Chain A
Amino acid sequence: MNTTIPNLIDEVSDLLNIGVSEVFRTMLTLEAKPAAVLHDWHASGETLVAGSVGFIGDVNGVVYVHVTAGFARKLASRMLGLAEAELEGDEMVNDVIGELSNMIVGNVKSRLCDSGAPCVLTIPSIVRGQNFKIEPVHSCERRLLAFRCDADHIMVELLMKHST
C-alpha cells in the first residue's frame, strides 16, 4: 500500500466507518449512523468505557471505541441476550466492548492486508473512567469519528503512525 499518511489515515477512517456499521448491524441489529463529532465528549463527567485494539506491521495504529458506561451495559445486554441486571459487574460489559472493538479493527486489518499492507492485531484492552482523553504522541496522526444509535453515541478514535 504505497500512499502517504494523510491518504492512508483517510482510507483507514473510511474502513472504520464501514466496520462500525457492519459490526453493530450484524452483532447487535443496531444502526450506527455517522454523526457530528461532539465537542468535549470526553469531559462530560459520565463514566466512559473505551475498547482499544492496535494493528502492527506495514501500517501501525490503534483504535479506541468509546461509549458511555450506560450504553456499554445496553450493548452487552443486547449482544449476550441477558437482562442488564444479569450482567455480572463490569467484567462482562468490558468483554463485550473489547470484542466489538476487536471485530471492528479486525475488519480493517483484513482489508489492509488484502490491499498489500500486512499487519497483525493486538489483544483488546479496556480503559474505563471519567474525564480522560487519549493524547497522541508527536509522530502520530489522529482522526475522530462519531456515530449515533438513536440517543446514544459512539466515538471512534484512530491514531496512526508510519513504520520505520
Chain B
Amino acid sequence: MALKILSVDDSRTIRLIVTRAFKAYDCIICEAANGEEGLAAAAREKPDLVILDVTMPVMDGVTMLGKLKDDPDLKAIPVIMLTAESSQENVLQISRLGVRDYLAKPFKEEQLLAKAGRVVPLVKKAA
C-alpha cells in the first residue's frame, strides 16, 4: 500500500518540490498550507509521515507539532521539520516537542529523501 505523506508549508513552491521529490516512490502526497489545515488533514488522512514548515500564517509549525503530539490519535505520526530557521535554539525547541528529524532550507531533494527514508520505508514505483 502506498505511503501517505502530508506536506504542510505555506509555500506552494515547497509543496511542489516535496511532491516532485517523492514522484519516483510509491507515495501519495497530501498538502496543507498552514498548521490549522495541516492538523485537519492529519486527522482526516492519518498520514505515515508529516513534512512540516515552521513559519506559516494562521498556525505555525511549532504550534501544529505541539497540538499533534497532544492528540492521542495523531501523536505517533512521525514529523520531519523542513525549516529556513535552523538556529540551535529552534532545533532544540522542536526536538523537545518530539520531532523525528529536521532539514534546513535550502535543501536538495536527495537530502529530503534520505531523511524520510530513515523514518518510513520508501519503495520505488514499479517501472
Contacts and interface: CB of A to CB of B under 8 A. Distances in A.
Interface stretch (B6-14, B42-50, B64-72): B6-14
A23 interface: yes
A96 B105 contact: no
A7 B59 CA distance: 36
A135 to B, nearest CB: 27
B13 A103 contact: no
B84 A106 contact: yes
Given A22-B106, A26-B107, A110 B13 contact: no
Contacts of A110: 84-87, 90, 104
A23 B84 CA distance: 11
Contacts, number: 71
B75 to A, nearest CB: 27
Interface in A106-160: 106-107, 109-114, 118, 120-121, 123
Interface in B4-41: 10-14, 16-17, 20
Nearest to B55: A121
Interface of B: 10-14, 16-17, 20, 55-57, 83-90, 104-108
A26 B112 CA distance: 13
Contacts of B90: 110, 113
Contact of A123 (B13, B14, B57, B89): B57
11 contacts: A26-B106, A26-B108, A80-B13, A91-B12, A99-B13, A102-B84, A105-B84, A107-B84, A111-B87, A121-B55, A123-B57
Interface in A1-43: 22-23, 26-27
A121 B84 contact: yes
B35 to A, nearest CB: 13
Given A26-B107, A99-B14, 18 more contacts: A26-B106, A26-B108, A27-B106, A80-B13, A80-B16, A81-B20, A95-B11, A95-B12, A96-B13, A98-B13, A102-B11, A103-B84, A103-B105, A106-B85, A106-B105, A113-B89, A120-B55, A123-B57
